Amino acid sequence: MAADCFYLVFALPNHPGRPIYLHRTSEVSDGTRGATPVLRPVFDDDIQQSQVWTNAEFAVQARDAWRSKGYVVALKDQEGNGPLLEREETEAPRYDDSRSRRFVLFTNGLGLYAVPCNTPEGPRWSVRAIDIPSFAQDGRHTAVESVFGNTPEEVAQKVLDVYGQQILFADPEAAARAEEEKRKAAAQSKHVPGLRPGDRR
């Protein structure tokens, strides 16, 4: 009989032989101003206090995400049977780490950051709550991170359709790019072709 509930069970060096479950996640900052908080797991040894997944696909995504961060973790059912939903050894996950974060601009001049991610179905794009200023303030709304798209534009549109235009914001890097272009233009206007620096009067 197939399991209908899945639990993330971690193997931790300081708890040898004991099942440790994911209770929740916490965003931790190193105190550096402007630094992006890091998502850390919060553990519990009581299965009743742990997160439970009823969707196998989301459970696999969560397990693979923690494995990619270096954790030894498996999926098990409430009775401790498992590991469950493991890939065949011949099946290699399709990862693509060559992509970088993209700002998707909408017609109103505002937009969202789309970030690359790797899922069991292959490379996808998502939007992180911490990249949306109106969400990052209180650390909630992490459900937005369960929305995926095949392109940056696709996932940005999906998120916009669900949460509305109030989540859009101006590209933070646009002002810096404009300033750099202005500086280059000013430097070019001072250059007179055919004259050496000593020839200018």
Amino acid at 195: L
> Sheet harboring 20-28: ordered strands across?
38-44, 20-28, 7-10, 73-76
Task: For residues 58 and 104, state if they share a domain.
Answer: no
Indicate whether 184 belongs to any domain: yes
Task: For residues 64 and 100, state if they share a domain.
Answer: no
Q: Select from 76, 105, 125 the last residue of a domain.
A: 76
Indicate whether 198 belongs to any domain: no
Task: For residues 105 and 179, state if they share a domain.
Answer: yes
Q: Select from 76, 109, 125 the last residue of a domain.
A: 76
What is the model's pLDDT at position 6? 92
Q: DSSP code of 88?
A: P
Look up the domain containing 130 and give its range: 93-189
Q: Select from 45, 76, 107 the last residue of a domain.
A: 76
Reference 123, options 59, 68, 163, 72; nearest CA is: 68
* 80 CB-contact burial (10 Å; exposed 0-12 / middle 13-18 / buried 19+): exposed
Task: For residues 109 and 176, state if they share a domain.
Answer: yes
Residue 67 — left, alpha, or beta (φ > 0 → left; ψ -120 to 50 → alpha)? alpha
Count the domains in the chain. 2
Indicate whether 141 belongs to any domain: yes
Indicate whether 194 belongs to any domain: no
Task: For residues 98 and 71, state if they share a domain.
Answer: no
What is the model's pLDDT at position 1? 47
Task: For residues 107 and 177, state if they share a domain.
Answer: yes
Cα-based angle 117, 120, 121 (whole degrees, multiple of 5): 85
pLDDT along the chain (201 residues), means of 10: 80 81 82 74 88 88 84 88 75 58 89 84 82 71 73 90 86 78 78 55 51
Rg of the chain on CA atoms, in Å = 23
What is the model's pLDDT at position 90? 44
Indicate whether 47 belongs to any domain: yes
Task: For residues 51 and 128, state if they share a domain.
Answer: no
Indicate whether 130 belongs to any domain: yes
CA distance 7 to 17: 17
Indicate whether 199 belongs to any domain: no
Task: For residues 100 and 145, state if they share a domain.
Answer: yes
Task: For residues 71 and 98, state if they share a domain.
Answer: no
Task: For residues 139 and 57, state if they share a domain.
Answer: no
Indicate whether 196 belongs to any domain: no
The CA-based diameter of the chain, rounded to the nearest angstrom, is: 89
Task: For residues 67 and 129, state if they share a domain.
Answer: no
Task: For residues 15 and 69, state if they share a domain.
Answer: yes
